[in-house]
Every structure is written in structure tokens, then in C-alpha cells.
Amino acid sequence: AENGCKETLHMDTAELCRSLTELMERQAALLEHMVSYEITLKESIVAHNFTGLELAQRKMSPILNEIAAAEAARHAAFLKLQVAVGEGPESGFYEVLSHLDRATREKAADAYRTLKFTVLKIQGLTDSIDIYLTTVTAAMQEVLSELFPFQKGNIYTRRGTKRQAQANPMLISRRL
């Protein structure tokens, strides 16, 4: 009877792992779509194609919701598998996989690596967009500071709120 129970547990964990693997593959596929949108977004920013930029942003919105739902489902499936193999909440992915048979473990590990790699691609693209925009903004600030030196620094109202400098500097002579 004990062996039958162990076999049933093995079948349940294997099924949970297959479900988790399918969810990771689905999430990786969604993230790959996100990569293509990020590339379009980056190209639109660099080319100053604001129509393309708006279109890419609109197309990204629904997939972001799908990615969030896939992430929630993947996390829930992992928690179920974690409990099924007798691991606690502090145990990592590969620690949980160590309880499974080799074929199941390898397929899940491959899906996990693919998911991680796709996430890294998105992070790289996002970072490159951020670096580009930061560099362009800093360069523009430098150019504007050289062109309009009298507008350097922040100007504040009497209440302490930041405001734009006037187009021309005012010279106040208290001697008059």
C-alpha cells in the first residue's frame, strides 16, 4: 500500500511539473512577443517615429496583462509543486526539481532556462532604451545650458514649488 501511495504521489508531482513546464513555456512565448514590441519601441524612439511609438505602446498593453496572468499562474503552479514534493517556501526551483525523475526534471529545467533567458533579453532591451533616453536627455540639458546660461538651476516660487525660468533674465538694481 505504501508503494502505491508513493507511486500516486510521483504521478501527481510529475503532472504538476508538466503543468508548470507548460506554463513556463507559455510565459516565455508571451515574453518573446514582448521582445519584438520592445525592439519596435526602441527603433521608434531612435528614429523619432512617434506614431510608431504610440502604436507599439498600444500593442504592448494587452500582452502585459497576459504576461501578468501567466506569471501568477506559473507562481501558483510552482507553489503547488513545492508543497507536493515536501519542500518549504524557502526552497528554490532546482531544489524542488531534485525530487522528480530525470526526464521530467530536464524538461522543466529547459523551460525555466528559456524563460530566464527571455527575461534577460527584455531587461537588456529595456536598459538600452533607458540608457539611450538618459544620454539624450543629459545631452539636451547640456546644450540648453550652453544656449541659455541664465536659465541654469532650479527656480522656486515663494511657496517652494519648482517653476520654469522666464525667457529673459531680469536685472534688478536696488540703487535706483
CB 59 within 8 A of CB 23: no
pLDDT of residue 4: 39
pLDDT of residue 172: 56
| Residue 57, amino acid | Q
The single residue listed with the C-alpha cell 522656486 is 156
What number is the average pLDDT over the span 35-56? Answer: 89
| Residue 164, amino acid | Q
pLDDT, tens digit (0-9, with 9 covering 90-100), for 72-104: 999 999 999 999 999 988 999 999 999 988 999
Does pLDDT of 68 surpass 50?
A: yes
pLDDT, tens digit (0-9, with 9 covering 90-100), for 103-161: 999 999 999 999 999 999 999 999 999 999 889 888 887 887 777 766 666 667 778 77
Alpha helices (H) along 47-153 = 50-84, 93-97, 102-147
Does pLDDT of 48 surpass 70?
A: yes
Rounded to whole angstroms, the Cα distance separating 59 from 38 reads: 11
Q: Who contacts 28 (Cβ-Cβ below 8 Å, separation ≥6)? A: 111, 114, 115, 118
Does pLDDT of 1 surpass 60?
A: no
Rounded to whole angstroms, the Cα distance separating 105 from 16 reads: 12
- Reading the block at residue 158, the C-alpha cell is 515663494
112 vs 168, more confident = 112
